[in-house]
Structure 1
């Protein structure tokens, strides 16, 4: 394995900065849901999304390779005096398989370590 700084990309070469992540599991189905929250996106700053190739999915990149996930939802939350200030972006996706969940968690541990993030169990 090579040393790669873990990154999250919506567009080719534009690493986004994750602000928070929430992990949940459905009691009924056992399917795990991930909610990633970004305070801003480089992809929409200065219209960079028009100059970069879109993956059409979300890419989680680390020393093990690339995890490609298709979000079930991406919400842009606006606020401010005029309602045109980006407050946050919420990206949601499901991980039904245990082996995919384990791989995702390895990525998250690497990403958290590289970006000074910590874990807290909130109920």
Structure 2
């Protein structure tokens, strides 16, 4: 295993900076929903998205390897006087299997530690 810094990529080689994350679990189905929130996207800012290879998936990379996630929702929010300033990107996906959830949480803990983020349970 390598000691690579945890990273999140929409496009190969362009690491994005996560602003926030929301984790929920359906009481009816037990399916876990993840919402990753980005205030900026380097791939859009640099216009590299047109020249870099993309998998169509979100890639979460850490020392254990790579997690490839197919987003179930992707919302880009624009604002500013001209309406052309990126305000936020919201990327959602579901995790059904417990072992996949455990792996995702190990990634998130590494990502949070490497980027000075903390966990707060809003149900308390």
TM category (shorter chain) comes to over 0.9
TM-score, with structure 2 as normaliser: 0.96
Answer yes or no: is 1:104 the counterpart of 2:104.
Answer: yes
- Which whole-Å deviations, capped at 9, do the CAs of 1:11-48 have from their partners, x for residues lacking one? 01000000000000001100000000000101111311
**Partner of 1:44: helix, strand, or coil?**
helix
Answer yes or no: is 1:43 the counterpart of 2:29.
Answer: no
**Partner of 1:110: helix, strand, or coil?**
helix
1:1-123 equivalent positions in 2, closer than 5 A? 1-123=1-123
- Which whole-Å deviations, capped at 9, do the CAs of 1:60-85 have from their partners, x for residues lacking one? 00000000000001100011122221
**Runs (4+) off by over 4 Å:** none
Aligned pair count reads 123
**Partner of 2:55: helix, strand, or coil?**
strand
Does 71-80 or 42-51 show the bigger shift? 42-51
Unaligned runs of 5+ in 1: none
